[in-house]
Structure 1
Amino acid sequence: MALTLTDLQRPEGFERLVLAEDAEAGLTALICLHSTALGPAAGGCRMWPYASREAAIHDVTRLARGMTYKNAMAGLGLGGGKAVIIGDARRDKTPAMMRAFGRAVEALKGSYWTAEDVGISPEDMAHAATETRHAVGLAGASGDPSPWTAEGVFRCLRVGATRVFGADDLAGKRVLVQGLGHVGLSLAEKVASAGARLMVTDINEAAMTEAATRLGAAVCAPDQVFAQQMDIFAPCALGGVLTAETAGALGARLVCGAANNQLASPDVAALLAARGITYLPDYVVNAGGIISVASEIHGHSDAWRLERLCAIAGRVSEMLAEAAATGRETTAVADGMVEQMLALPRRAA
């Protein structure tokens, strides 16, 4: 069976939702374009063993919308999109599957640019790139975006610390990093180097052992995160970790992490604010990776990447100042900033 693309019913406010299938290559993927108002849609591809196609659609649509906001806030001249491949990356992924995915991306004729995300590596993306011009984050080009994501989160975390604690000095601050993938581990290294009292958790015990040995981190079981006393919580695993229940138990004053869609529902932002917890919206602080990818899309230099990375921290500072002056939640302020950008005529990045 050759590759087939089927347009599915798109949610209101979205531009396109495509099902890509290639039985011979083992590919079942969804590609979602939320908005191309500011440029072609860009966002990574993740591979995950979703329990159902409906669960995959729920995830890809949330992620695509988040990419619209992330790319707009970072000033990248890109719209928002995302792709998910249904399957277990450790067991099911093959070069043939990634090449088939590349053909699906190419069939969208430049309306969507892809890169790696959870379960997908630069090497996997190189296979996709044999079939499409619109796969980025490649070795020898912009490369793995994870270090850029971690650096952006770290800079924003220090801006948040200045607002919450009066200084960006992290020495002695109790920082819990949840999730020790490429981004989480890199962030943990930066936090430890800044003198923080690092705590870590992950479902991978070997990753926790490494962080404890190499970084001097204290470890806690994944189901004990919200029983810990901490100053800063950095969620860097999958989304939805902040629910009404966990927000009520969280013992931190600042939340700043790399995970996408950290709030299980929008009303959790108000619960955090009511408890005096400052939340830095994930799509603002975790844009470092897409900034790196955008430099490859647009053909810009490292200097451009660094300029945009510094701008993220500036946006966070503006957002916090407006939230403090108006009493609005940080999520509402950030969303308002993006909506103003989306209403402006498209400008080149």
Structure 2
Amino acid sequence: MTSTDTDPLLSLTWTDHVTGRRGFLVVDRLVRGVASGGLRMREGCTLAEVTGLARGMTMKEALHYDPERHPQHRYLPLGGAKGGIDCDPRDPAAYGVLVRFFRAMKPSVESFWTTGEDLGLTQDLVDRAAAEAGLVSSIQAVYPLLDDETAARRRLADAFAVEVDGIGLDELVGGCGVAESALAALDRAGLPYREARVAVQGLGTMGGATARFLTRAGLSVVAVADVKGTIANPAGLDVEALLRARDGHGTVDRATLRPADLELPGDAWLSADAEILVPAAVSYAIDAPDQERISARWIVEAANMPVLPEAERLLTARGVTVLPDVVVNSGTNAWWWWTLFGDVGPSAEEAFAQVRRAMRALVERTLTRAERDGTTPRAAAHAIVADRLPVMGERFGWYR
């Protein structure tokens, strides 16, 4: 590979003059002059982490671009980017850091970086901080690409106002995509849903929605991990009760647990007696020693970069299939743009139907390519991206 294949287009490091906290913006690639990627906030966030996430966003955009169906879609691909702030979102100073980060990044957000919630942040908080920093919107850079900006913004606002059984549609679409990825793998293997057990790390936006969709599909969630530890029940947890009992950071109130629910150490979810593991919290959650404890058949990466490369190599050698993050958790980003550009309307029914169709097709394409090439699903996804990026470059340009 040449340096242009691996190096990001732009990399910025910011230091907060009040707290000394650092923040990062990495633009991996521009397409049509714009790059898409969320903003995360967590203690220990690094430039290397954000750089990897930005490359992942480039891949997600490319994976959801089908050159053959291009004329049928209003939404066309963007580039990949990511932002990160090294700060605990629970820190009382965190919101001020977020506002100052947006003020520093204002020219980027106005011109070429569209962003939204990611690990540690909610969209409401991102919107509030962006407004306080003097921005029109955290996605305003994409507005010049819209046919009717007013109608598009209203459509997205209406979609964000939709709730399904007490949870916002914007929180649910990502979990719908993760769940559909898992279901596609089960269908391909011929395993009935009622025979599949699931362990989930993280009950925040992505993990909570994934647990809901999988439970409603007939699977049994037998373990859930949060910052306080792992909650387990071999007979199945009451996912809806856990969702009602969690706080804004996905931590479950233990006072609401049933007598048969067990409280175990935080890493106990790894060794849960389950067919599917869903890491849906932090990056780098499964390393080489961790993988020895895993007996699951599939790992479905709802979080970004949760399985380290050496761990994945060892898991693959043991027959464990890792469905990669760039495929599995790409539904949220795609839904934003489908809605804004008008490929789907502001309704849960349309959103879920489109996410399910797109994710199932993407998982099938990835697994079929992996079988054909004799590689892992991640290598197959990378190969699909490698096929599509030159087409995107020729069609839309490399920087504009």
Q: How does 1:111-150 map to 2 (within 5 A)?
A: 111-130=112-131, 131-136=134-139, 140=157, 142-143=159-160, 145-150=170-175
2:126 alignment partner AA:
M
3-state SS of 2:46 partner = helix
Q: Displacement of 1:294 after TM fit?
A: 2.3
2:176–2:352 CA contact under 8 A, matched in 1: no
Matches of 2:281 and 2:90, distance apart in 1 = 17
Paired position in structure 2 for 1:222: 266
1:251 alignment partner AA:
S
Matches of 1:244 and 1:92, distance apart in 2 = 35
Matches of 2:159 and 2:62, distance apart in 1 = 20
Paired position in structure 2 for 1:17: 11
> Is 1:235 the counterpart of 2:252 in the alignment?
no
Q: Displacement of 1:277 after TM fit?
A: 1.4
Q: Displacement of 1:306 after TM fit?
A: 4.7
Question: For structure 1, which runs of at least 5 residues remain unmatched after alignment?
Answer: 1-9
> Is 1:153 the counterpart of 2:156 in the alignment?
no
Q: CA RMSD in A?
A: 3.1
Paired position in structure 2 for 1:172: 195
Q: How does 1:266-285 map to 2 (within 5 A)?
A: 267-285=310-328
3-state SS of 1:289 partner = helix
Question: For structure 2, which runs of at least 5 residues remain unmatched after alignment?
Answer: 66-75, 141-152, 161-167, 243-257
3-state SS of 2:50 partner = helix
Moved more, 316-325 or 294-303: 294-303
1:232–1:253 CA contact under 8 A, matched in 2: yes
Q: Displacement of 1:256 after TM fit?
A: 1.2
Matches of 1:11 and 1:340, distance apart in 2 = 13
Paired position in structure 2 for 1:80: 80
Change (3 A) 1:323 1:12: closer
Paired position in structure 1 for 2:58: 68
Paired position in structure 2 for 1:192: 215
Matches of 2:58 and 2:374, distance apart in 1 = 25
Q: Please point out which of 27, 32, 49 is paired with 1:33.
A: 27
3-state SS of 2:53 partner = helix
2:381 alignment partner AA:
A
2:177–2:359 CA contact under 8 A, matched in 1: yes
Residues paired across the two proteins, number: 332
Matches of 1:264 and 1:89, distance apart in 2 = 24
Matches of 1:269 and 1:257, distance apart in 2 = 11
Change (3 A) 1:134 1:11: farther
Q: Displacement of 1:304 after TM fit?
A: 7.6
Q: How does 1:305-324 map to 2 (within 5 A)?
A: 306-307=353-354, 309-324=356-371
Deviant stretches of 4+, over 6 Å: none
Matches of 2:90 and 2:124, distance apart in 1 = 14
3-state SS of 2:194 partner = coil
Q: Displacement of 1:188 after TM fit?
A: 1.2
Q: Displacement of 1:176 after TM fit?
A: 0.9
Matches of 2:231 and 2:121, distance apart in 1 = 22
Paired position in structure 2 for 1:163: 188
3-state SS of 1:20 partner = strand
Q: Please point out which of 332, 352, 372 is paired with 1:325.
A: 372
Q: Displacement of 1:33 after TM fit?
A: 0.7
Identical aligned residues as a percent? 26
Q: Displacement of 1:296 after TM fit?
A: 5.6
Paired position in structure 1 for 2:107: 107
Moved more, 252-261 or 120-129: 120-129
Change (3 A) 1:142 1:71: farther
3-state SS of 1:317 partner = helix
Q: Please point out which of 233, 239, 249 is paired with 2:293.
A: 249
Matches of 1:141 and 1:39, distance apart in 2 = 27
Q: Displacement of 1:111 after TM fit?
A: 1.8
TM-score by length of 1: 0.83
Matches of 1:248 and 1:311, distance apart in 2 = 33
Q: Displacement of 1:222 after TM fit?
A: 1.9
Q: Please point out which of 383, 387, 390 is paired with 1:343.
A: 390
Matches of 1:224 and 1:134, distance apart in 2 = 41
